[in-house]
Amino acid sequence: MDLTGHLEQLIPATSEAAYERLACYRFAQRYVEGKDVADIGWGEVGYGSHLLAETAQSVAGLTNSSEAVDLVSTVYSAPNTSYRETDLPELPYPEDHFDVVVAFGVVENLEHPEDLVREAKRVSKPAGVLVISARDKQNHAKDDRAAGGREMYVLEFQELLERHFKHVRVYRQGAVAGSFVFPASEEISSTAVESARLGLTNPYFSAAPPMTGSVMAVCSDVEVSEEQPHLLLDRDRRVFDECEDRAEDVELLREEIRRMQETEVQAFQDSLKLHRTEIAYLRAQVRRARAQERAMRIQVHEMENSTTWRVFNPYRRLRARIEALTRSTPQKVRKQ
């Protein structure tokens, strides 16, 4: 198995995607301590299961990719974690099996998302919890139509879940940018969330949420507590550093394109110059051939008008008549 190739498939393409996934699983961690958990992934699994396993009693990572199962069994192995391939949305477990079911980034890939919700409810215990997400149709409708995915509005997502669970708490998730003020000598334990929309002429502050990428929900047949906003900080500046790296990559790409264009132009000019040289050579050959033809015609004309040609002309005519008569006389007559 191409370990490096499959490992690259498990790594998000951007830092934003990595933080989005990390925030989802950190949010789900508050529900899994000491519980039996199913972590469902589409095409990949392992990273989130590994995070949940830090506090869960057991985690079963489920995915529709056999390659992912083979890989993460080595990369994200843990005593309380197992991985299994399944034909989603089917879950190969009996009823009332898990305390918590986690499904991030799955429903948008299913033709009938409700089938997964129904299966999650079946394998959950009576007081079990489903933590699930879907892409936010409000902000990703155009992108998802192009990619062939299925997105949901908040109300649509909530109505789907409420058909199967008595209590549903819906959250929205999105990336934010801003500035952070924190104690210089203490660990950060909590933070207040405030948003601002900055303009050059009329900046104002509000508690409006940022643009969201996903809708998340916590579902159960028992009362689900309302959670405070969850803010995950880019402490290592990975997002910002990636933006700087990408700016450098774009500049390098532009320089490479410029060099390629210059090379192509130079190659075209060289080819055109060679083509013109070949045309000039052929034209010279034609002129030379025409000059030789004219010289030969002059020689023939001069020869036909010379004294020698006129003196021997009667002899040539007589010789021609003798040869013609010889060809027309039968062979027997000549022998007699």
Q: Is 45 part of a structural domain of the chain? A: yes
Q: Is 31 part of a structural domain of the chain? A: yes
| Residue 62, strand partner residues | 40, 84
Last residue of a domain, one of 234, 254, 272: 234
Q: Is 137 part of a structural domain of the chain? A: yes
Q: Is 183 part of a structural domain of the chain? A: no
State the sign of the Cα–Cα–Cα–Cα dihedral 220, 226, 227, 229.
positive
Q: Taking the model in full, what pTM does it have? A: 0.65
Task: Verify that 221 and 197 share a domain, yes or no.
Answer: yes
Q: How far apart are the first and last CA of the chain?
A: 103
Task: Verify that 159 and 52 share a domain, yes or no.
Answer: yes
Task: Verify that 124 and 267 share a domain, yes or no.
Answer: no
Contact 45, 68 (CB under 8 A): yes
Task: Verify that 173 and 289 share a domain, yes or no.
Answer: no
Q: Is 40 part of a structural domain of the chain? A: yes
Task: Verify that 19 and 164 share a domain, yes or no.
Answer: yes
Task: Verify that 87 and 228 share a domain, yes or no.
Answer: yes
- Reference 101, options 128, 69, 80; nearest CA is 128
- Per-residue pLDDT tens for 178-209? 777 777 776 776 677 666 665 555 555 555 55
pLDDT in tens, the chain (336 residues): 444 455 545 555 566 777 888 889 999 999 999 999 999 998 888 888 999 999 999 999 999 988 888 888 888 888 999 999 999 999 999 999 999 999 998 998 999 999 999 999 999 999 999 999 999 888 765 554 444 557 888 999 999 999 999 999 999 888 777 777 777 776 776 677 666 665 555 555 555 556 677 889 999 999 887 777 777 777 766 666 666 666 676 677 778 888 888 888 888 888 888 888 888 888 888 988 888 888 888 887 777 777 776 677 777 777 778 888 877 766 555 555
SS (HEC) of 21-50? HHHHHHHHHCCCCCCEEEEEECCCCCHHHH
Q: How far apart are CA 224 and CA 303, in angstroms?
A: 121
Task: Verify that 211 and 325 share a domain, yes or no.
Answer: no
Task: Verify that 331 and 215 share a domain, yes or no.
Answer: no
Task: Verify that 198 and 289 share a domain, yes or no.
Answer: no
Task: Verify that 69 and 210 share a domain, yes or no.
Answer: yes
Task: Verify that 253 and 215 share a domain, yes or no.
Answer: no
The number of domains in the chain is: 2
Q: Is 148 part of a structural domain of the chain? A: yes
- Per-residue pLDDT tens for 2-51? 444 555 455 555 667 778 888 899 999 999 999 999 999 988 888 889 99
Q: How far apart are CA 76 and CA 296, in angstroms?
A: 92
Task: Verify that 160 and 262 share a domain, yes or no.
Answer: no
- CATH code for the domain in which residue 222 is found: 3.40.50.150
**Domain span including residue 18:** 3-178+188-234
